[in-house]
Amino acid sequence: MSLEKLADLIFPNIDKTPEYYIKKYPKRNLKEGAIVSRYAPSPTGFQHIGGVFAALINERLASQSEGVFFLRIEDTDQKREVKGAIKDTIETMHNFGMDFNEGMTGEDSSVGEYGPYRQSQRQEIYEAFAKDLIRKGLAYPSFATPEELAALRERQIEAKITPGYYGEFATDRNLSPEEAMEKIKNGENYIIRFKSPGNIENRVDFHDLIKGDISFPENNQDIVIIKGDGLPTYHFAHVVDDALMRTTHVIRGEEWLSSLPIHVQLFDVLGLERPEYAHIPTIMKNDNGSKRKLSKRKDAEAAVSYYTEVGYPAQSVIEYLLNIINSSFEEWRTENPDADYHEFPVSLDKMNKSGALFDIVKLNDVSKDVICKFKADKVYGLYTAWAKEYDKEMYELVTNNEAMAKAIFNIDKEGPKPRKDFAKWEDVRGKIDYFFDELFNKETAENVELPKTLSLEAAKEIIKVYKDEFNFNSGSQEAWFEELKEIGAKLGYCANRKEYKANPDQYKGMISDVAGAVRAALSHRSNTPDLYTIMQILGEEKTKARFQAFLNL
Ligand code: GLU
């Protein structure tokens, strides 16, 4: 009776019970095996690549099983909240090809029958569950001040025992309801703690869908369930929300693994059905031989905005993350070069249990493979969308020369082994800038790259002759090359490597030197796609002008 009074005194306006909510949010009517999963970020505005990683696993498993993937906003730490963060989360996930079936759809809107999907709007639900626990003597108000708790902690550490509010140290658990009511009426501040029935001597066996079989001691800490500001802690909100939202799989970062004993216990005491758990390895980085967490402060690539800024297509990032999730993705990709990545079946039990190593070099390889399969029109569209934002000069040049740009992006595209020039849109400028007079004409003799065997003077000698003898309309790559060999031979450059090696003194050099001179004159580069193609894209006039300009360098 007095517990009832205590519960009423603490939560006078709460008249609903847990049973009410359990009935209000019934089990979902989904096909057998359908997974209900969620992405549950705090709205701090900073999108970490680890968040995309976690969301991707959740989204794939829900989608593959024809389940539900929803967005829940965990805003119980209101100090950290950033305006616009919800919109930013939804947009980011959308850009990475992940749309939510349910949950928040904006700052103040949502879809779905299992809401509210924002924790700060669920206060009365948490209170109903907390009130019920108090009524049953399974939770209690605790009046210990932060100073008292700090002093307790110090004493415990000194005595080399586990710190915390538990067992004999949890003195407020022994207050009678009358004593507690007295303190409340006197205006003392309090929080609500869970009265843990656990004993650390007991072990709990547990199966995690990624980590496998694990075993841990029971929780015996009287953890806080409702904070001083009236909002729940993560532990309590997680259990209440995932039970009522009928989440079947909680797939979250492994930093929560150590709290699992608390969560398992809360589900049991509350009599709620526990979801399956999968704890995702933290994304690590190899830093000069030692592994460490990707850090928001030290590593640009920790922020999702980095990938947008340097211009990795979303598909590249996703395919790279799929590689980390299941290493079999790579083989699948080789066997199914043109398949949509959504067709790859993600599986938790094949996931690496310990670290997920993030490696930019590998990301670049994956991304080159992705981009090389994009048709020229698609490359043009994605590149100009990126450049418009991040490289205005290239945006102007490329869009003012659309046909030429598309022809450039189409170089060696259609064959069985398309060129892999770009890992990200930021790479494009350095690979194609020479096509544009506006950029090329700013270059000087210092920019000219030549084969090691050829001096600038010798290159000019070649071009002096070549520019008058070459036929722009040779008709094919092969005919063009035959002609190059003939001109080279006349100038004393050998077209046959063996012959040259046998009598090096009889020649000025090899045909590769002649090609190198032409390449240098047209592009100032020593490494470009095929020269015939470059000349065709530049056009006769520009090609000739470049030969002339080369002689004047
Ligand atoms: N808000 C928690 C976080 O951002 C969610 C963890 C979970 O998925 O349960 O870490």
CA distances to 80, 242, 270, 376 from 275, in Å: 28, 8, 14, 47
Integer distance in angstroms from the first to the last C-alpha of the chain? 98
pLDDT for position 289: 86
Q: Whose CA is nearest to atom 7 of ligand 1?
A: 252
pLDDT at 74: 96
Tell me the CATH number of domain 2-14+123-280, given options 3.40.50.620, 3.30.465.10, 3.40.50.460, 3.40.50.300.
Answer: 3.40.50.620
Helix 2-10 vs helix 177-185: crossing angle, to nearest 10: 30
3-state secondary structure of 48: strand
For the stretch 217-227, pLDDT in tens is: 999 999 999 99
- pLDDT beyond 80 at 354: no
Tokens of 53: 């990683």
- Which residues, judged by CB distance below 6 Å to any ligand atom, belong to the binding site of ligand 1? 40-42, 74, 238, 252-253
Average pLDDT, the chain: 95
Confidence of residue 352 (pLDDT cuts 50, 70, 90): confident
String of DSSP letters for 244-303: HTT-SEEEEEGGGGGGHHHHHHHHHHHT-PPPEEEEEPPEEEEETTEEEE--TTT-GGGB
If one looks up domain 443-553 in CATH, what number appears?
A: 1.10.10.350
Among 129-138, 247-256, 361-370, 410-419, where is mean pLDDT lowest?
410-419
Question: What would the two tokens of residue 304 be?
Answer: 């999702």
Distances (CA, A) of 487 to 53, 458, 494, 500, 549: 57, 14, 10, 16, 20
Whether residue 355 is predicted with pLDDT greater than 80 in this model: the reply is: no
Q: Determine the number of helices (DSSP H) and then strands (DSSP E) in the chain.
A: 24, 16
Give pLDDT, residue 194. Answer: 98
Alpha helices in 66-122 (DSSP H): 85-95
Pairing outcome for strands 212-217 and 224-226: unpaired
Q: Is the dihedral of CA 117, 123, 124, 129 positive or negative?
A: positive
Residue 40 CA, ligand 1 centroid: distance in Å = 5
Q: Output the CA 315–ligand 1 centroid distance in Å.
A: 25
Q: Which atom of ligand 1 is nearest to the CA of 74?
A: 1
Residues in the chain: 553
| pLDDT tens digits, 252-305 | 999 999 999 999 999 999 999 999 999 999 999 988 888 999 988 899 999 999
* Mean pLDDT calculated for residue range 93-120: 96
Identify the pLDDT of residue 501: 92
Q: Are 38 and 51 in contact (CB under 8 A)?
A: no
Protein residue whose Cα sits closest to atom 8 of ligand 1: 252
Q: How far is the CA of 255 from the centre of ligand 1 (A)?
A: 9
CB 428 within 8 A of CB 422: yes
Residue 87 has pLDDT above 80, yes or no: yes
Nearest to 43 by CA among 35, 51, 54, 53: 51
C-alpha to C-alpha distance for 235 and 252, rounded to whole angstroms: 13
The closest residue, in CA terms, to atom 9 on ligand 1 is 252
**Which one of 76, 234, 251, 274 would you pick to mutate in the ligand 1 pocket, going by the greatest count of ligand atoms within 8 A of its CB?**
234
- The count of other CB atoms within 10 Å of the CB of residue 453 is 12
Atom from ligand 1 closest to the CA of residue 54: 8
pLDDT of res. 77: 84
- Report the phi/psi class of residue 294: left, alpha or beta, with left for phi > 0 and alpha for psi in -120 to 50: beta
In this predicted structure, what is the pLDDT of residue 288? Answer: 86
All CATH 3.40.50.620 domain ranges in the chain, comma separated: 2-14+123-280
The span from the CA of 360 to the CA of 286, in Å, is 10
CA–CA distance, 172 with 142 (Å, rounded to integer): 6
296 labelled as ligand-binding?
A: yes
Residue 341: per-residue pLDDT: 97
Task: Tell the burial category of 416 from Cβ atoms under 10 Å away from its Cβ (0-12, 13-18, 19+).
Answer: exposed
Predicted confidence at residue 64, as pLDDT, reads: 97
Q: Is the dihedral of CA 437, 440, 442, 448 positive or negative?
A: negative
Residues of the chain with CATH 1.10.10.350: 443-553
Mean pLDDT of 347-376: 91
CA distance 517 to 425: 29
pLDDT tens digits, residue range 205-219? 999 999 999 999 999
- Which residue among 74, 120, 248 is best mutated to probe the pocket of ligand 1, counting the most ligand atoms within 8 A of its Cβ? 74
| H or E stretch covering 21 | helix 18-24
Mutate to test the pocket of ligand 1, among 252, 267, 293 (most ligand atoms within 8 A of CB): 252
Q: Is the pLDDT of residue 10 over 90?
A: yes
- pLDDT of the residue at 350: 87
Q: Are 525 and 434 spatial neighbours (Cβ–Cβ below 8 Å)?
A: yes
pTM, to two decimals: 0.93
Separation CA 77–CA 119 (nearest Å): 10
Give burial (CB, 10 Å; 0-12/13-18/19+) of 318: buried
CA of 480 to the centre of ligand 1 (A): 62
